[in-house]
Structure 1
Amino acid sequence: MSTVSAPSRRWRVGRRSDVARRDVSLRRRVPVWVLTLVVTLVALAWVYPFAWMVSASLKDQLEVFSAGLDLIPKVAQWENYRRAWSDAGFGTYMVNTIIVTLGTVVIVVVRCAMAGYVLARYKFIGHKTMLLVLVGTLFVPAGYTIIPVVEITQRLGLLNSLTGMVIALSGGGQVASILLYLGYFRGIPRELEEAAIIDGAGFFTVFFRVMLPLAGPVTATVVVLTFLNTWNAFLLPLVFTFSRPDLRTLSVGMQAFLGQNSVDWSGMAAAATISIVPIVLLFLFLQRYFFDGIAGAIKS
């Protein structure tokens, strides 16, 4: 039985009608072609730097500056990509980055999903305090934690290794990912868990076979966010590869184009294009799940 009074319902209906009328009047005042033009200009301004980067990767060193904002190279210099991949060692850096990123994504997804599930489904002493502490860590700069992270990793004997880099990158708070899982799991009916428990399923069985598969959209969101952050991470990989240049990731390896007296801009543009392609492909493949996951967590 509804507990909302008739005046309250009429007020809500009237408010929605007012909003609809304002939207219609706005569309009448602003023609569709004007809105389309504005959105197109904003999109071009957003995309242009990426298009210029790809264009610069196909130009020689002099044309990068002489051509100005022109996007069409006179002669495509594919040699820039060969130089970036082989001479600058980006083939090795790509393999290192893939290993570190995939390892970090797997650990972060499992850890954040379990943390979000426990915080969403179980009440215990200090539950709210833990949530406040997690949210509070969002305001702590990453540079403040670099020294203890390196110290702990060094004592474990993992400082100059890809394994240590994965542990360091996946050991952060990842508060946003935990909160996404928390919000999503709160919206799942408890009857699903209860049915699995009646069938004899334990905690891990319920989590891995029931709850985690249902959180597919959130998992896709966390995968994209973690992949992006890890792929572009610079500070920790830089510290972990001071004495092991062969373990550099793409973001750290970009420094190979910075000379003492000059910068190889065309080679750097080619390297940047190579490094951004996997991120674009991943987002295009998971974009529907990415937006569904964020919408589902916020709605819950």
Structure 2
Amino acid sequence: MTRISGRILTWTFLLITAALLLLPIALAMLGSFKTNQELNAGSALLPKVWQLENYLYTWKEAKFSVYVWNSVIYSVGATITTVTVCSLAAYAVARRSFPGRKLLLGVYSAMMFIHMGVLTLKPAYQIMVTLGLHKSVLGLIIMMTGAGGTTFFILYAFIRSISKELDEAAMIDGASSFYIFSRIILPLCAPALGVVGLFAFRGAWNNYILPLVFTMSQPELQPITVGLANIRYGFGGAVQSHLMLTGACISMLPMLLMYILANKSFVQMNVGAIKG
């Protein structure tokens, strides 16, 4: 009886938590099929008439297709650069000894507790202006690389958990450092790379301040986060809440797809942490 009661309490808690988390998403999805007047009135939970044209109008007339395509370019580019740079840096720090290594780790760890987004925005923008990249896609991708530093420490901890005997055995056979990194370390880091890729994609997809500053003079390069704000007041000067909800629902789909694809990596990371 005690065991059954414990399971009932556990499932009840999980179901209530899931309902609280999913309720805002469900309300947003239902609101995206309403007219603006019906949504602002808040008279009923379900739409009186399902406005399927909201999605077509948002996609075409509100140029949401451009925003989504720009976000895909930024997010995929930032994910590739983040995985590449952070994996190389984590391998160097985890497997090599060099002067200032511990100081570098200490400073980098301390800086993670400081919100650097707004603090470094102006200096970063000035650097991109000096390099002539402040009006290009590449400049914004470079600024999004790193995903806040968390990705580096995930890979650093994962590489440290791999036995160094594999490296030594490969070196005895004449393998170079890059060969060891690309053919031995990276395949073993596949779960961590999946999680890092997800974090990098999510950070770039949801980023608002950097794209707003870098694309302020170039609306055709604006991503989905900036586009949502433009949609709100972009038609007739009135607040278009139903179109914003429609755009928000569209913007959730790529992230849901990424979470589905990276689910296996999360499970493998958790299993490895439990075994460790």
Q: TM-score, normalised by structure 1?
A: 0.85
Q: Is the partner of 1:103 in helix, strand or coil?
A: helix
Report the Cα offset of residue 94 of structure 1: 1.1
Q: Is the 8 A contact 1:108 1:174 kept in 2?
A: no
Alignment of 1:148-187 (within 5 A): 148-170=123-145, 172=146, 174-187=148-161
Q: Is the 8 A contact 1:238 1:248 kept in 2?
A: yes
Report the Cα offset of residue 74 of structure 1: 2.1
Range with bigger deviation, 261-270 or 157-166 = 261-270
Q: Is the 8 A contact 1:57 1:80 kept in 2?
A: yes
Q: Distance in 2 between matches of 1:154 and 1:69?
A: 51
Distance 1:295 1:133, change over 3 A: farther
Q: In the alignment, which residue of structure 1 is the partner of 2:170?
A: 196
Q: In the alignment, which residue of structure 2 is the partner of 1:266?
A: 242
Q: In the alignment, which residue of structure 2 is the partner of 1:222?
A: 196
Q: In the alignment, which residue of structure 2 is the partner of 1:275?
A: 251
Q: Distance in 2 between matches of 1:176 and 1:207?
A: 20
Runs of 4+ in 1 over 4 A off after TM superposition: 297-300
Q: In the alignment, which residue of structure 2 is the partner of 1:113?
A: 87
Does residue 130 (structure 1) correspond to residue 104 (structure 2)? The answer is yes
Q: In the alignment, which residue of structure 2 is the partner of 1:100?
A: 74
Range with bigger deviation, 148-157 or 191-200 = 191-200
Q: Which has the larger radius of gyration?
A: 1
Q: Distance in 2 between matches of 1:173 and 1:275?
A: 19
Distance 1:184 1:31, change over 3 A: closer
Q: Distance in 1 between matches of 2:50 and 2:99?
A: 64
User: Letter of the aligned partner of 2:131 in structure 1?
Assistant: L
Range with bigger deviation, 55-64 or 215-224 = 55-64
Q: Distance in 2 between matches of 1:69 and 1:41?
A: 23
Aligned residues: 273
Report the Cα offset of residue 66 of structure 1: 3.1
User: Letter of the aligned partner of 1:114 in structure 2?
Assistant: L
Q: Distance in 2 between matches of 1:66 and 1:165?
A: 40
Q: Is the 8 A contact 1:120 1:182 kept in 2?
A: yes
Does residue 53 (structure 1) correspond to residue 53 (structure 2)? The answer is no
Q: Distance in 1 between matches of 2:230 and 2:70?
A: 16
Q: TM-score, normalised by structure 2?
A: 0.92
Measured against aligned partners, the alpha-carbon deviations of 1:211-266 in whole angstroms (never above 9, x if no partner) come to 01110000000011111110000000000111100000000111222228521111
**Percentage of identical aligned residues:** 32
RMSD: 2.0
